[in-house]
């Protein structure tokens, strides 16, 4: 096992390399640039492809193209670049092309606060591209988990044939901590499921197997097939047939939403008996944990549920964990994007509160403590 002292963006690169990335296309943008810089160093050494494209649109398109030749492909960006990628993220969803998109969030909207922290892209990750769809979005609050979630992102993208968004934030991206890199084989790496259909036999790139998976072929292989962003049949050819359209859209959504609990990654701290349950994710979960540990020393009944999967939203998990709490406080650095989802999931939405900051300043344990005191009528 190698031990390193790295920033989050570097841990993301280590995770991608561990998962077997062999193609990266990107465009410089704060605060994600280190990911591109480090991969420009590492990928050529491993005979992988690295290219700095002319913009984020092209970067996203290039990773989809490379993935279709059989590569494990990733891009990395931040707010404005993530906006530009939305159309081609939709293309990856529609064509069921595995790929990983890292968004190290910064303050928005627009150019916003390029060097400051925010978590304002939670809903954009879910609904940024047009049309009915579902998506996997993972996040992490510390450097070790950035590594782990990056490996998970590649694994889930191959498992479900879908783009996976890694929604980090500026604090996680730039802070430094210890990283233990596991030996090869210690953490599972899922490889692409190739079709076993022999040459000369009709290959259906979009025919769902009984286990829900869709084996792939690749450009340059023996199965020439069509890949289109249009609604398509099991061969990948365009269709406007209402039945097929309905079936395809349901498949794109159901393959993720039906497996939401399987895809859900989370951590629990002192949750069992907590009267006050904090739900948080990303860097704000660090401040939440700080507060929980501090208050537990004073025998206060408070716990933290840290979400690492944001989408598909783990509705069952949230409902179960929130059951019977005195209050649920969602801590995030936006205006309640995830809080609204929590409210929708629980039986007592009036007991769900928001503790947030939207001013580019990192939310502290004191900020959260003050919010809780206000909710409890104690004043600050």
Partner 1 sequence: MAVKDYIRERFFPQMWCPGCGNGIVMNSLIRAIENLGYSKNDVVVVSGIGCTARMSGYLDFHTLHTLHGRALAFATGVKLGRPRLKVIVPMGDGDAAAIGGNHFIHAARRNIDVTAIVVNNRIYGMTGGQYSPLTGLGLKGTTAPYGSVDPAFDLVSLCMGAGATFVARTTAFHAPQMTDIIEKALEHKGFSVVEVMTQCPTYFGRKNKQGGPVDMMKLLKETTTPIGSKAKKENPDLIERGIFIQEERPEYCEAYQELTKKAGGRNV
Place of tokens 């159309």: 87
Beta partners for 304?
Answer: 269, 278
Question: Coil, helix or strand for 303?
Answer: strand
Smallest distance from partner 1 to CB 52, Å: 10
Smallest distance from partner 1 to CB 213, Å: 22
Q: Please give the distance of CA 46 from its chain centroid, rounded to a whole number.
A: 26
- CA distances 366 to 4, 13, 142, 276, 357, Å, are 31, 33, 20, 16, 12
Q: Please give the distance of CA 113 from its chain centroid, rounded to a whole number.
A: 22
Question: Coil, helix or strand for 221?
Answer: coil
Query: What's the alpha-carbon Rg for the chain, to the nearest Å?
Result: 21
Q: Please give the distance of CA 20 from its chain centroid, rounded to a whole number.
A: 18
DSSP code for 60: H
Question: Of 218 and 269, which CB lies nearer to partner 1 in the complex structure?
Answer: 218
Question: Of 248 and 292, which CB lies nearer to partner 1 in the complex structure?
Answer: 248
Smallest distance from partner 1 to CB 224, Å: 5
Question: Of 71 and 283, which CB lies nearer to partner 1 in the complex structure?
Answer: 71
Residues in the chain: 380
Question: Of 66 and 327, which CB lies nearer to partner 1 in the complex structure?
Answer: 66
Question: Coil, helix or strand for 183?
Answer: coil
Smallest distance from partner 1 to CB 25, Å: 6
- CA distances 254 to 250, 257, 328, Å, are 6, 5, 29
Smallest distance from partner 1 to CB 192, Å: 13
Smallest distance from partner 1 to CB 362, Å: 36
Handedness of CA 340, 266, 95, 63 (dihedral sign): positive
Asked if residues 91 and 119 have their Cβ atoms less than 8 Å apart, the reply is: no
| Residue 100, burial from CB neighbour count under 10 angstroms (0-12, 13-18, 19+) | buried
Question: Of 56 and 152, which CB lies nearer to partner 1 in the complex structure?
Answer: 56
Report the interface residues with partner 1, using CB under 8 A: 23, 25, 41, 44-47, 49, 51, 53-55, 57-59, 61-71, 73, 87-88, 91, 218-222, 224-230, 237-238
Smallest distance from partner 1 to CB 1, Å: 18
Question: Of 65 and 212, which CB lies nearer to partner 1 in the complex structure?
Answer: 65
Name the nearest CA neighbour of 25 among 90, 83, 77.
77
What is the spatial distance between Cα 253 and Cα 250, in angstroms, rounded to a whole number?
Answer: 5
Smallest distance from partner 1 to CB 205, Å: 11
């Amino acid at each position: 096992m190698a031990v390193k002292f790295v920033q989050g963006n570097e841990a993301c690169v280590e995770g991608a390399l561990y998962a077997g990335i062999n193609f990266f296309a990107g465009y410089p943008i704060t605060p994600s640039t280190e990911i591109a810089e480090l991969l420009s160093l590492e990928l050529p050494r491993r005979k992988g492809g690295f290219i700095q494209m002319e913009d984020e649109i092209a970067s996203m398109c290039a990773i989809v193209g490379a993935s279709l030749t059989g590569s494990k492909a990733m891009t990395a960006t931040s707010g404005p670049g993530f906006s530009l990628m939305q159309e081609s993220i939709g293309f990856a969803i529609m064509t069921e092309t595995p790929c990983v998109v890292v968004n190290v969030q910064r303050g928005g909207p627009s150019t916003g606060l390029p060097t400051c922290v925010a978590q304002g892209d939670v809903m954009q990750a879910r609904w940024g591209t047009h049309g009915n769809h579902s998506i996997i979005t993972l996040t992490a609050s510390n450097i070790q988990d950035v590594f782990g979630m990056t490996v998970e992102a590649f694994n889930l993208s191959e498992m479900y044939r879908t783009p996976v968004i890694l929604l980090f934030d500026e604090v996680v991206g730039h802070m430094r901590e210890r990283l233990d890199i596991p030996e090869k084989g210690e953490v599972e790496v899922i490889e692409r499921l190739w079709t076993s259909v022999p040459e000369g036999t009709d290959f259906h790139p979009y025919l769902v197997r009984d286990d829900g998976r869709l084996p792939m072929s690749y450009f340059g292989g023996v199965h020439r097939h069509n890949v289109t962003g249009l609604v398509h049949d099991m061969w990948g050819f365009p269709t406007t047939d209402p039945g097929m359209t309905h079936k395809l859209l349901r498949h794109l959504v159901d393959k993720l939403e039906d497996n939401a609990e399987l895809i859900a990654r989370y951590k629990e701290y002192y949750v069992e008996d907590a009267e006050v349950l904090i739900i948080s994710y990303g860097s704000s979960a660090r401040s939440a944990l700080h507060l929980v540990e501090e208050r537990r020393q004073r025998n206060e009944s408070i716990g933290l549920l840290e979400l690492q999967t944001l989408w598909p939203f783990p509705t069952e998990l949230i409902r179960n964990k929130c059951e019977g709490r005195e209050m649920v406080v969602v801590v995030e650095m936006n205006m309640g994007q995830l809080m609204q989802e929590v409210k929708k999931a629980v039986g007592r939405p009036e007991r769900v509160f928001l503790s947030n900051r939207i001013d580019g300043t990192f939310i502290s344990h004191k900020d959260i403590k003050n919010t809780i005191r206000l909710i409890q009528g104690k004043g600050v």
